Structure 1
Amino acid sequence: MASLAASPPASFLTGHRTWLFAATSFPLQALIIAVAVYLPQHFAKGLGLELAAVGATFALVRLIDIPFDPLLGAAMDRTRSRFGRYRVWMLLGAPVLMAAIYKLFMAKAGIGTTYITIWLLIMYLGASMLTLAHSAWAATLAPTYDARSRIFGVMGAAGVAGMTLLLATPVIAPRLGVTSDAAGVQGMGWFILIAIPLAVLATIARTPEHVAPRTSRPQPGRHCLRDQIALLVHPSMGRVVLATFLFSLGTSWEGTLFIFYFTDVRGFTAAEASTLLMVALAAGFAGAPALGRLATRISKHGALMAASALYAACLASLWVIPHDAVALTCLPFITTGFLYAGFHVLLRAMTADVADEILLEQGQERGGALYALITLAPKVAAALAVWATFTVLAAVGYEPSAGAANTSHALEGVRAGYVLGPILFVAAGGLCMIGYRLTRERTAEIRTLLHN
């Protein structure tokens, strides 16, 4: 049976130190929204690449990228150094990510899919190093069921702040004399590039590291594909990974179609659409910690099911809201923004509970491997979303280039895809939590056993 050394004091989870630790979520989430919403469109519209080719490239990169996260997670679980475990990986990941962001966001016309493939792979490698280390580190800092909801809630709020400020760039750019979409995308790249080193330094400067000691010998070949599959089919972890995949697929699907839907179907200008997205994500700054607090009252999986049901209902309302009812159109979208960050907050907090369960069962800390699975699921989902939505758009005859005259059939296809796809996947994610057994009471029991 495993016995835990003293965890960081509970006081660490209050005040400014928690926000400093959460700072790394700021540029990482800003990058996610930039890549999901703006970068594929920029490659197609701004740099002249074929729409289907862009979608296929993003999907291919995600497939190639699949082994990275499990290997990184396994390496993190085995890392021991005088500088700490996660601190080292964050320092390594930051420059890798920054180099790739520069090459992608500052790309010039004439690049091909090979160029995009190489630099996307490097970008996802650097992002994985930071994301895995940050999430696994957070799990060791929060020793209780409710504390995990709080710390991941703060991380979610920091991430929402990053996404919101990034989305301000296309709104502010015209006032600074920047009128091209390509320059706006470059501005997003510089925003993220500047934020990464500042955020990482804020995280590592004053945060303690705690690693549970090994209480059993590593089994031969432990960090192999078979072991990853065993974690994936673990009763608690399997549900969390599947829910993460489905929620990510639904929200990525919606994000990929967002600009097309609101500009061509609803008649918003690009600036108005970006402003709406910024406001919706700003609502998530309150939504992430709010769902974390709800989880302390009813349970994490209960809060997740409630959020998924409301999210689906809001999207369904867009189907019946008239096109000229601008305020009514904005209201459900802002509500989904309030809920969006909460999905990942709750699922990452639930993964920390699973890490305790597996520590009790196996006698070894597997946080890196578990968060690798949680990080991998959204990557695969995002790639599938880009490929699937771009394929659907091509199938209905939608033309994304500026000034193109789309038929009513093509626009109806965009509308149906934007509303129905996310409803299906987000609702399915909520259904995954029916019968989830790792409750507050069970988690407290596991913690007691670990301390004995």
Structure 2
Amino acid sequence: MSKAKAAAAAPMSLLSVLTFACCYLPFSALNTSVAVQVPNYFARHIGLGLAVGGVFGLIRLIDIPLDPLLGLLMDRTRTPLGRYRPWMMLGAPVLMLAIYMMYEAPVGASRGYLLLWLLIMYLGMSLLLLAANAWAATLAVSYAHRSRIFGAMQGLGTLGAIAILVIPIITHGRGRTDAQGIQAVGWFLVVMAPVTIALVTLRTPEPLKKVAASRVRLSDYARLLARPNVLRLIAADFFIIMGPAWMSALYLFFFTDSRGFSVSAANGLLVIYIAAGLLGAPATAWLANRISKHRALAVTAVGYSLMLIVIFLSPKASFVIAAPAMFVAGGLAAGSIVMIRSLTADIGDEIRLEQGQHQIGLLYALTSGTTKAAGALAVTLTFWVLGLVGYNPAEHATNGAAQIRGLELAYAIGPVVFVMIGGACFLGYKLTAQQHADIRRQLDERDAVYDESPVIEGLAPSPGETLVTGP
């Protein structure tokens, strides 16, 4: 093996991994805000009430088909800048515009206003997330290294999520209203998105190789869905995301009206929950490299469910009891996401070996679609359940004992059921670390037939070279 090829096969340095992982800062921050803050903000401050749930559900009927199309386009992309870098560069300005319009929405804004800017915001998120996940899969090719890089992405993304939870606490301490705190979050996101994406796209190499070109067709989605491991993956992704998303949609209502915490204290507990990802993501990656990824996923599902039960049964307004339970639950939730993303990359290698096509963009489009569907459906269903039990989410509203009990049961039962189903989806899974190592060996041998030139560690090919991207 040449020195260039040996360098390409070597794991990325820690600094390189962390630099690339910056791409998850804006996504994780915005994803957390949309799950926890935005529904509450539009329901209470903007004045849409429980109609917010219907908007989030409708947006998915429009938005989800975009992910397969974007994945298809990404897998067909061939530019001197790479396959995924241009898509991330496109996603940043789209996201910035949508964030500004969402977080600066005027009081009394219509459901149509929310629908339009949610759609544009999710388009920007899709551009960033699909490109980042697929790019990461090409940077990390080994079973263990994938756990490492996806763990770093999840862990560093946690910092962004922590920031958007701390901002309202700081603004509240300075005498600002809850709504002004959420607006400050919006400005933070508008600034952070272009800075982090610029850092990633300018400093991270995207491997450019001479490869046999393959044409990916929309019908390839049907073939993907016929594969048992792909069905396991998208089902697990849906349910694993659905649990925390359900909890997030009800979080502020539950912790203020049921548990008796102030909004600031509830945000403080959520900071602890999110911050635990800094430990939970790498810890789960470490565990996965010892007991396998699918077993580590099962561990996170069971542990997460137990912690939610502890929180539900704990005394009201007891920060001392709630804080450690939230910390453990948050670490396990972050770890489960790391496992899903890493398993996706492994299954993508299995597909490429058997079919001879690079379809990682398609695969991540499927999981992105299920992730979005779970997040939106969680908001729709939880707000529908709140309507059934008669709970009123408006500011200064008074809810009776029956409404609070309905809120409590909705908060406790939904996440546990969904997460446990998600963990069970990989029972009987056969793609172990040993099998994946053999798959990578065969892929490397086959790639060597098409690629006798070194990997280009830059942003453009040398003069006169004709290159296409791909592993």
- TM-score w.r.t. structure 1 length? 0.95
The equivalent of 1:183 in structure 2 is 180
Q: 1:130 aligns with which of 125, 128, 152?
A: 128
The equivalent of 1:298 in structure 2 is 291
Q: 2:272 aligns with which of 259, 263, 279?
A: 279
Whole-angstrom distance in 1 between the partners of 2:32 and 2:87: 23
The equivalent of 2:39 in structure 1 is 40
Whole-angstrom distance in 2 between the partners of 1:252 and 1:212: 39
Give, as a single letter, the amino acid of the residue that structure 2 aligns with 1:338: G
Q: 2:81 aligns with which of 62, 83, 95?
A: 83
Contact between 2:246 and 2:378, CA under 8 Å: does it hold in 1? Answer: yes
User: Which runs of structure 2 are paired with 1:110-259 in the superposition (5 Å)?
Assistant: 110-178=108-176, 180-210=177-207, 214-215=211-212, 217-218=214-215, 222-224=216-218, 226-259=219-252
Give, as a single letter, the amino acid of the residue that structure 2 aligns with 1:61: I
Q: Deviations over 1:208-259 (max 9, x none)?
A: 11256554753xxx522x4213213322121111101001111100000110
Q: Deviations over 1:21-64 (max 9, x none)?
A: 1101011000001001111111110011131x110001100111
- Indicate yes or no: 2:372 matched with 1:379: yes
User: Which runs of structure 2 are paired with 1:310-325 in the superposition (5 Å)?
Assistant: 310-323=303-316, 325=318
Give, as a single letter, the amino acid of the residue that structure 2 aligns with 1:404: A
Contact between 2:305 and 2:420, CA under 8 Å: does it hold in 1? Answer: yes
The equivalent of 2:429 in structure 1 is 436
Q: Deviations over 1:358-401 (max 9, x none)?
A: 11111111111111111111100011100100010111111112
Whole-angstrom distance in 2 between the partners of 1:181 and 1:232: 44
Per the alignment, do residues 10 and 267 of structure 1 end up closer, same or farther by CA in structure 2, a change over 3 Å counting? Answer: farther
Q: Deviations over 1:4-36 (max 9, x none)?
A: x94863555222111111101011000001001
- Indicate yes or no: 2:358 matched with 1:365: yes
Whole-angstrom distance in 2 between the partners of 1:330 and 1:323: 12
Q: Count the aligned residue pairs.
A: 442
Q: Which has the larger displacement, 266-275 or 309-318?
A: 309-318
Give, as a single letter, the amino acid of the residue that structure 2 aligns with 1:193: V
Whole-angstrom distance in 1 between the partners of 2:317 and 2:84: 51
Whole-angstrom distance in 1 between the partners of 2:128 and 2:23: 8
Whole-angstrom distance in 2 between the partners of 1:105 and 1:7: 48
Contact between 1:157 and 1:289, CA under 8 Å: does it hold in 2? Answer: yes
The equivalent of 2:458 in structure 1 is none
Contact between 2:70 and 2:127, CA under 8 Å: does it hold in 1? Answer: yes
Give, as a single letter, the amino acid of the residue that structure 1 aligns with 2:379: V
Contact between 1:289 and 1:342, CA under 8 Å: does it hold in 2? Answer: yes
Whole-angstrom distance in 2 between the partners of 1:30 and 1:412: 31
Shift of 1:356: 0.7
Q: Deviations over 1:310-340 (max 9, x none)?
A: 1111112234323254322332222111111
Whole-angstrom distance in 2 between the partners of 1:217 and 1:270: 53
Per the alignment, do residues 157 and 7 of structure 1 end up closer, same or farther by CA in structure 2, a change over 3 Å counting? Answer: farther
Whole-angstrom distance in 1 between the partners of 2:145 and 2:130: 19
The equivalent of 1:419 in structure 2 is 412
Whole-angstrom distance in 2 between the partners of 1:366 and 1:32: 25
Secondary structure of 2:25's counterpart equals helix
Whole-angstrom distance in 1 between the partners of 2:377 and 2:304: 21
Structure 1: stretches of 5+ with no match in the other structure: none
Contact between 2:70 and 2:365, CA under 8 Å: does it hold in 1? Answer: yes
Contact between 1:138 and 1:152, CA under 8 Å: does it hold in 2? Answer: yes
Shift of 1:124: 0.6
Whole-angstrom distance in 1 between the partners of 2:214 and 2:395: 61
Secondary structure of 2:206's counterpart equals coil
Shift of 1:70: 0.5
Contact between 2:67 and 2:366, CA under 8 Å: does it hold in 1? Answer: yes
Whole-angstrom distance in 2 between the partners of 1:389 and 1:58: 11
Contact between 1:49 and 1:112, CA under 8 Å: does it hold in 2? Answer: yes
Contact between 2:96 and 2:190, CA under 8 Å: does it hold in 1? Answer: yes
The equivalent of 1:68 in structure 2 is 66
Secondary structure of 1:168's counterpart equals helix
Q: 1:347 aligns with which of 340, 343, 350?
A: 340
Secondary structure of 1:338's counterpart equals helix
Q: Which has the larger displacement, 369-378 or 205-214?
A: 205-214
Whole-angstrom distance in 1 between the partners of 2:6 and 2:401: 60
Whole-angstrom distance in 2 between the partners of 1:60 and 1:43: 16
Whole-angstrom distance in 2 between the partners of 1:295 and 1:233: 27
Contact between 1:283 and 1:338, CA under 8 Å: does it hold in 2? Answer: yes
> Identical aligned pairs, as a percentage?
44
Shift of 1:110: 2.5
Whole-angstrom distance in 2 between the partners of 1:299 and 1:288: 15
The RMSD of aligned alpha carbons is 1.6
Per the alignment, do residues 415 and 211 of structure 1 end up closer, same or farther by CA in structure 2, a change over 3 Å counting? Answer: farther
Q: Deviations over 1:118-142 (max 9, x none)?
A: 1111111111001011110000011
Runs of 4+ in 1 over 6 A off after TM superposition: none
Give, as a single letter, the amino acid of the residue that structure 1 aligns with 2:150: F
Q: Deviations over 1:183-219 (max 9, x none)?
A: 111111111111101110111112111256554753x
Structure 2: stretches of 5+ with no match in the other structure: 446-471
Whole-angstrom distance in 2 between the partners of 1:319 and 1:171: 24
Give, as a single letter, the amino acid of the residue that structure 1 aligns with 2:306: A
The equivalent of 1:265 in structure 2 is 258
Whole-angstrom distance in 2 between the partners of 1:410 and 1:81: 56
